[in-house]
Amino acid sequence: MKKGLKKWLFPVLDLLWLTFIYSNSLKNKASSAAQSKPLQDLIKPPLEAVGIKNDTDRIAELIVRKGAHIAEFFLLTVLSALALRAWGVSQKKSLWISAVFSVIAATIDEIIQIYSNRGAALGDVLVDSIGVFLGVTLLLLVYKKKNKK
Beta-carbon contacts of 140 under 8 Å, excluding residues fewer than 6 positions away, are 95
Q: How far is CA 12 from CA 3, 36, 138, in A?
A: 15, 26, 21
Q: Would you give the distance in Å from CA 127 to the centre of its chain?
A: 9
Q: Are 86 and 98 in contact (CB under 8 A)?
A: no
Task: Give tens-digit pLDDT for 101-110.
Answer: 999 999 999 9
Confidence (pTM): 0.90
85 pLDDT above the threshold of 90: yes
What ranges do the domains of the chain cover? 3-28+69-148
Q: What's the rounded Cα separation, in Å, for the pair 39 and 125? A: 22
25 pLDDT above the threshold of 80: yes
Q: What was the pLDDT predicted at 95? A: 97
Task: Give tens-digit pLDDT for 103-132.
Answer: 999 999 999 988 877 878 889 999 999 999
